[in-house]
């Protein structure tokens, strides 16, 4: 792992340094586990009270947090310690393990596939007929990309990912292990002779700068496309059913489930383990608390939560009333006596 002086770190994050400028730090740790060679971060006053007991050699400190100067340790004052931490972690991150540019001897690439300049294809990957892959994209081991799929430039597709046929992804897309793009949607029609499977002939189309976590499943559309907008980030183990349309720059936490044909606007934030009923619309800028069950349309900019989900302020009032219910029942029994 590389090392940096406190001055180098302060310059990279655009912070104001207080304390030694030449102190060398070798990594990042939390307040409770940091040692003299580590940098830590302090986002608020509650964490500032733990600084005296911390052994870290330096800290990123959010604006407005008061900490007494220590001549032996460095404080780097910045507007947002959490945001600056992302930059620092990039500095200390070891180089990622990637296959070398070119096609590994054990990989199978159909002769009709077109690979851009600098593409890397790892061991035992399969690239099907008429697939097109943009410049500098990295395909890790055991990835399967089926017929006529198109990937943009500078993507990174981690081991075990499967692209079914005719899907598409834009530039700089990152997909983590064992995610499946373009599986059949769950579409059946009940008949006296049993369930009849409905063919799904649409695609999945993913925009640029999208990141998908591990174990995500995105179903292809029944007769049009399931789409993911530019800049959207999706956590692990999320299921997006057929014909959903997810907007740009959305943040979707883990274990969220979308039934078919959900339409989501831009900039929506969704907490973990939330479920969405089919054929509803979630407005741009909305936020949904974790563990919610969204059964109806959500207005633009609304904050909803609960099961069924509704305005979060109303949900909190109901939860508060429910917590009082045991005491109210006791009082009622006393009145009856």
Burial letters 263-283, b for 16+ CB under 10 A, else e: bbbbbbebbbebbbbeebbbb
Classified as helix, coil or strand, 310 is strand
CA distance 294 to 275: 6
Q: How far is CA 205 from the centre of its chain?
A: 18
Q: Any catalytic annotation for residue 26?
A: no
Instruction: Choose, from 140, 176, 239, 242, the residue flagged as catalytic.
Output: 242
Q: How far is CA 252 from the centre of its chain?
A: 6
CA diameter of the chain: 87
Classified as helix, coil or strand, 48 is helix
Classified as helix, coil or strand, 148 is coil
CA distance 266 to 183: 25
Strands 132-133 and 114-115: parallel
Enumerate the active-site residues.
242
């Amino acid at each position: 792992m590389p090392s940096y002086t406190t001055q180098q770190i302060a310059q990279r994050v655009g912070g104001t340094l207080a304390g030694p400028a030449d102190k060398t730090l070798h990594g990042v740790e939390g307040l409770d586990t940091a040692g003299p060679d580590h940098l830590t971060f302090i986002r608020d006053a509650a964490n500032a009270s733990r600084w005296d007991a911390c052994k870290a050699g330096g800290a990123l400190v959010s604006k407005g947090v008061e900490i007494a100067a220590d001549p032996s340790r460095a404080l780097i004052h910045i507007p947002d310690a959490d945001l600056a931490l992302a930059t620092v972690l990039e500095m200390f991150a070891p180089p990622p393990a990637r296959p070398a540019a070119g096609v590994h001897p054990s990989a199978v690439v159909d002769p009709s596939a077109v690979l851009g300049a600098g593409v890397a294809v790892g061991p035992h990957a399969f690239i099907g007929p008429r697939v097109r892959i943009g410049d500098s994209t990295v395909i890790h081991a055991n990835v399967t990309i089926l017929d006529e799929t198109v990937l943009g430039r500078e993507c990174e597709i981690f081991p075990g990912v499967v692209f079914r046929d005719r899907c598409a992804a834009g530039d700089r897309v990152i997909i983590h292990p064992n995610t499946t793009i373009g599986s059949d949607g769950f579409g059946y029609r009940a008949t006296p002779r049993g369930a009849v499977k409905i063919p799904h002939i649409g695609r999945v189309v993913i925009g640029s700068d999208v990141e998908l976590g591990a174990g995500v499943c995105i179903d292809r559309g029944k007769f049009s496309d399931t789409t993911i907008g530019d800049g959207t980030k999706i956590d692990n183990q999320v299921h997006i059913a057929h014909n959903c349309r997810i907007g740009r720059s959305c943040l979707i936490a883990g274990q969220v489930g979308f039934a078919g044909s959900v339409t989501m606007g831009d900039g929506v934030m969704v907490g973990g383990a939330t479920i969405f009923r089919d054929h509803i619309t979630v407005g741009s800028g909305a936020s949904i608390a974790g563990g919610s069950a969204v059964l109806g349309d959500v207005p633009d900019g609304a904050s909803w939560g609960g099961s069924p989900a509704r305005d979060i302020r109303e949900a909190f009032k109901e939860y508060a009333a429910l917590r009082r219910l045991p005491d109210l029942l006791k009082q009622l029994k006393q009145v009856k006596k």
